[in-house]
Amino acid sequence: MFDRDIWQEIFNTLKTNKLRTFLTGFSVGWAIFILVMLLASVNGMQNGFVSQFNDDATNSIFVRPGTTSKAYGGFEAGRRIQLKNEDLEYIKQSFPNDIEYISARYYANATARYKSETGSYSVHATHPDHQAIEKTLVVAGRYINEADVINKAKVAVIGRKVAEDLFKNEDPLGKFVEFNGLPFRVIGVFTDDGDDNAERRVYAPVSTYQRIYGNTNDINIIALTYNPTYDLTKALEFSERLEILMKRRHKIDPDDQAGLYVWNYAEAFDNISSFTAVLKGIGIGVGFLILIAGIVGIGNIMVFTIKERTKEIGVRKALGARPRQIVNLVLLESVFITAISGFVGLLFAWVILAAVGPMIQTPAFSNPSVNLSTVVTATIILIIAGVLAGLLPAMKAANVKPIVALSDK
Amino acid sequence: MIEIKDLHKSYKMGSNSLHVLKGINFKVEEGELVAIMGSSGSGKSTLLNILGMLDSADSGEYTLDGVPIKNLSETKAAQYRNKFLGFIFQSFNLINYKSALENVALPLYYQKVPRKERQEKAMKYLERVGLKPWADHLPSELSGGQKQRVAIARAMAGEPKVLLADEPTGALDSKTSYEVMDLIQKINDDGNTILVVTHEEDIAHMCKRIVHLKDGVIVEDKKIEQVRAEQYV
Ligand SMILES: Nc1ncnc2c1ncn2[C@@H]1O[C@H](COP(=O)(O)OP(=O)(O)O)[C@@H](O)[C@H]1O
Ligand SMILES: [Mg+2]
C-alpha cells in the first residue's frame, strides 16, 4: 500500500490523463459537496428548531384544560374543565419526586398607563417557579417571590419592550404603573432573546390577579418541569401518569383527547428529532444518488485507462505480476482519485459553511455546519465508493492476457 | 532444462480452427543457445508463448527445470514466469514512464526484493549491458539498441533459468542487431540458457543450434558452428 512504485504508477496515469482525471474527480467532489451541504442544511434546521424551543426549559410539561368530547362518569360531553389552585397542590403532592418546578399561570389583558404613555399588554400571573420553567431572564430588579404571592402584592415584572414603551428613558424599577386602573409597582424588567413578542408581556403574582378577578382560585394552565435526570422514556412515562391522574380527578374519559392536554416538551422534541432525521435521510439519499453518478464516471474512466494500458499490464504479467497485484494497483488508484476529489468537495463545502454559516441566523435555520462525524462518514463512503468504482476496471485489468504483450501488432 | 513432447496447439476462429503446432518434440539442455527459425506464420511465437507460460498448449507435455507445467492458475503461472523465465521482445516493451533502472528492477519488485537491494541489482545488470550512465533515462531518451539492451538487462535481473527472445533484433538495423547478438552470446557464454526466435539466417547462425519450424512441425534440428557477432561490431 505504501509502496513507492505503486504511487509512482498512480501519479503517472493521473498525469498523463489530467483532463480526464479532473473531470471525473469533479463529479465525485461535486457529489460530496452537495451531500455535505444538504447535511449541513438539515443540521442548520435542527439548530433552528432547538433554539426556538430553548426559550423554555427543555424538560417542561404544560397541563391545559379543554372541553370534554365524550360522556363519562355521569357527565355529558361538552363539559368545560376548569383548573384550580387545588389541582396544582394535588399535583405537587402526588408527584413529589417527579417535579422540579411547578407554577400556575393565569392569563389576563391589561391596559397599562404610566404618566401619559399607554399600551395594551398580556399579563401572565404566575408563581415564582415560573421563572425557571420559562427561563425568564431578569435584567433589572427581581422576579416574583413567595412573599408577593402570599401577600397578593400588586407588583409586576415587565418586559423590556413594555419598559421602553411606557418609561422611555426613565428607570422603571420602583415606579407605579396602572393596569386597568390599578397601581402596580414595577419590581423587575426581563428580556427574551429570540422573541420580541415575549418582551411585550407582564408577569404578576397569580394570587393578586385571582383576587382582582373576583376572588377566584381558577387557573388557566399548570406549567411544570420534571426531574431533570429523567430521560425521554421516563419523562414520557411521567407525563402519562400525570395525564391519567388529572383525567381521573376531573372525571374525563381516559381516551378523551379534548378534555385535558398534557403537553410534554420532550415529546415534541422527539417529534422534531424524527422529523430532522427524515430530512437527513433524504439528504443522504440525494447525495448518494449523485455520488453514484460520480462512481460510474470514475469506473468508466478507469476502464478506459486500463484499455490504454493493456500492453503495459501484459508486460507486467510476463515479468511476474500476479493478478492480485494488478487488481490492487487499479483499486488503489481508484480509491485515491475518489478520496482526493471527495476531500476537495468536502473542503469546499466546509470553507463555504465556515464563511457563510454563522451569518445565517433566522429562527428556523441557524449556523449550518459540518461536524467531525460527517467528515468521518464521508471518508468511509469515499473509500467504499472508490473500491466500487475500481472493481470492474480492476477485474478487466486482471483478465488481460500477457500474450498481448508479445504480439507486436 | 526444457522438454516438450507432442505439443499441439490450434486457434479457434469462429467455426474454423487453425492448427498451428502439430506435434512438437524437443529438448533444450542447460547452457544452450537455440534459434527457432521459420517463415512468418509458422508458429514460432506460438511455441515461445507456450514455453513462456503466456499461453497453454492443447495437448502434450512440457517440463521446465524438472517442473511439469500443466493447468497452472494465473497466479502460479505468474510465479513461475517470475522465477524461471526472462522475456525479450521485438518491440522492447519497456514501461515508458519508468527510468531504465526502474524497468530493470521491475522483475525484482515482483520477486519482493527490498527496494534498495533491487536498485543495486538492477544497476549491476545495467552495467553488464553497458548502460550504467543511462540508468536515470526514460526509454524515450534511448536508441533502439539501447532499449533492447535495457530489456535484456531486465530479462536477466530476475536471474531466470531460461531467457526467451522473440525476434529480439526484428526492430533493429543490422549493426545494432549484431551488438545485441554479441550481448546475447556473452550472456550465453556465462552459462545461461537462451531461446531466440528469428527468421533471419545470419542471426540464427549466431546461435549454437537451429530448430526449423514449418507447417507446425520441426523439419530440421541441427547443432551449428557459432558465428561470433563480435567481429561485426
Ligand atoms: N491469438 C491468435 N488467434 C488466432 N490465430 C493466431 C493467434 N496467434 C497467432 N495466430 C495464427 O497462428 C499462426 C502462427 O502465428 P505465430 O506463432 O505468431 O507465427 P510466427 O511467430 O512464426 O510468425 C499464424 O497464422 C497466426 O495468424
Ligand atoms: Mg512471431
Q: Judge whether A91 lies within some domain.
A: no
Disruptive mutation site among B56, B74, B163 for chain A (greatest number of A CBs within 10 Å) = B74
The answer to whether residue A82 is domain-embedded is: no
Q: Are residues A290 and A386 in the same domain?
A: yes
d(CA B152, CA B133): 16
Which residues of chain A make contact with B164, given a CB cutoff of 8 A? none
Would residue A191 count as lying in a domain? yes
Q: In chain B, which among 138-167 make CB contacts under 8 A with chain A?
A: 154, 158, 166-167
Residue A239: Cβ within 10 Å count: 22
User: Do A312 and A196 belong to one domain?
Assistant: no
* A42 shares its domain with A110: no
Give me the domain span that covers residue A274. Answer: 4-52+270-406
Of the residues A221, A253, A284, which one is the last residue of a structural domain? Answer: A221
Test mutation, B44, B83, B93, chain A, max A CBs within 10 A: B93
Which ligand approaches the C-alpha of residue B90 most closely? 2
Hey, which residues 185-224 in chain B have their CB within 8 Å of chain A? none
Contact B78 A4 (CB under 8 A): no
Nearest alpha carbon to residue B137 among B101, B109, B94: B101
The verdict on a CB contact (< 8 Å) between A320 and B91 is no
Same domain, A119 and A203: yes
B87-131 pLDDT tens trace: 999 999 999 889 999 999 999 999 999 989 999 999 999 999 999
Pick from A56, A55, A194, A201: nearest CA to A124:
A201
Contact B109 A5 (CB under 8 A): yes
Check whether residue A171 and residue A296 sit in a common domain: no
What tens digit of pLDDT does each residue of B187-208 get? 999 999 999 999 999 999 999 9
Ligand 1 probe mutation, A400, A404, A407, most atoms within 8 A of CB: A407
Residue to probe by mutation, ligand 1, list B8, B9, B11, B196, most atoms within 8 Å of CB: B11
Contact (CB<8Å) A322/B90: no
CA dist., res. B187 & res. A363, Å (int):
84
Q: How many domains does chain A contain in total? A: 2
Is B93–A315 a contact, with Cβ atoms under 8 angstroms apart? yes
Indicate if A193 and A295 belong to the same structural domain.
Answer: no
Q: Candidates B8, B18, B19, B219: which one to mutate for ligand 1, based on the most atoms within 8 Å of Cβ? A: B18
**B40 CA: nearest ligand 1 atom:** 23
Long-range CB pairs of A314-317 (<8 Å, 24+ gap) are A314/A400, A314/A401, A314/A402, A314/A403, A314/A404, A314/A405, A314/A406, A315/A402, A315/A405, A315/B89, A315/B93, A315/B95, A316/B95, A316/B106, A316/B110, A317/A400, A317/A402, A317/A405, A317/B78, A317/B81
Domain boundary among A221, A254, A283: A221
Contact (CB<8Å) B49/A406 = yes
List domains and CATH numbers for chain B. 2-232 (3.40.50.300)
Tell whether A200 and A282 lie within a shared domain.
no
Residue at a domain's end among A190, A221, A252: A221
Distance from CA of A400 to the nearest CA of B (A): 11
User: Could you read off the pLDDT tens digit of each residue along chain A, which spans 409 residues?
Assistant: 567 777 877 887 778 778 878 887 888 888 888 888 888 888 777 777 766 665 566 788 999 999 999 999 888 889 999 999 999 999 999 999 999 999 999 999 999 999 899 999 999 999 999 999 888 899 999 999 999 999 999 999 999 999 999 999 899 999 999 999 999 999 999 997 656 788 899 999 999 999 988 888 999 999 999 998 888 888 889 999 999 999 999 999 999 989 999 988 777 777 777 887 888 888 888 878 887 888 888 888 888 878 888 888 889 999 999 998 888 888 888 888 888 888 888 888 888 888 887 777 666 666 666 677 777 777 788 788 888 888 888 888 888 888 865 565 5
Inter-chain contact A322–B83, Cβ cutoff 8 Å?
Answer: no
What phi and psi values does residue B98 have, to the nearest 5 degrees?
-110, 145
Cα–Cα nearest to A288, from A41, A38, A20: A38
In this structure, the answer to whether residues A198 and A141 fall within a common structural domain is yes
Q: Is the minimum CB–CB distance between A315 and chain B shorter than 8 Å?
A: yes
pLDDT of residue A2: 62
Q: Are residues A217 and A274 located together in one domain of the fold?
A: no
Q: Cβ–Cβ of B83/A407 closer than 8 Å?
A: no
User: Contact B98/A312, CB-based, under 8 Å?
Assistant: no
Residue A264 domain flag: no
Question: Same structural domain for residues A118 and A204?
Answer: yes
Q: Do residues A284 and A383 share a domain?
A: yes
Best B91, B108, B147, B169 member to test A by mutation, with max A CBs in 10 Å, is B91
Identify whether residues A280 and A204 lie together within a single domain.
no
How many beta carbons lie within 10 A of that of residue A190, not counting itself?
24
Say what the pLDDT of residue B28 is: 95
Chain B CB within 8 Å of residue A320 CB: yes
Confidence class of residue B213 from pLDDT cuts 50, 70 and 90?
Answer: very high
Q: CB under 6 Å to ligand 1: residues?
A: B 11, 13, 18, 20, 38, 40-46
Structure confidence at residue A364 (pLDDT): 61
- In the stretch 94-123 of chain B, residues with CB closer than 8 A to chain A read 95, 97-98, 102, 106-107, 109-111, 115
Q: Which residues of A touch B91 (CB under 8 A)?
A: 408
Give nearest CA residue, ligand 1 atom 21: B45
Distance B10 CA to ligand 1 centre (A): 9
pLDDT at B30 over 60: yes
Q: Which residue has the CA at smallest separation from atom 13 of ligand 1?
A: B41
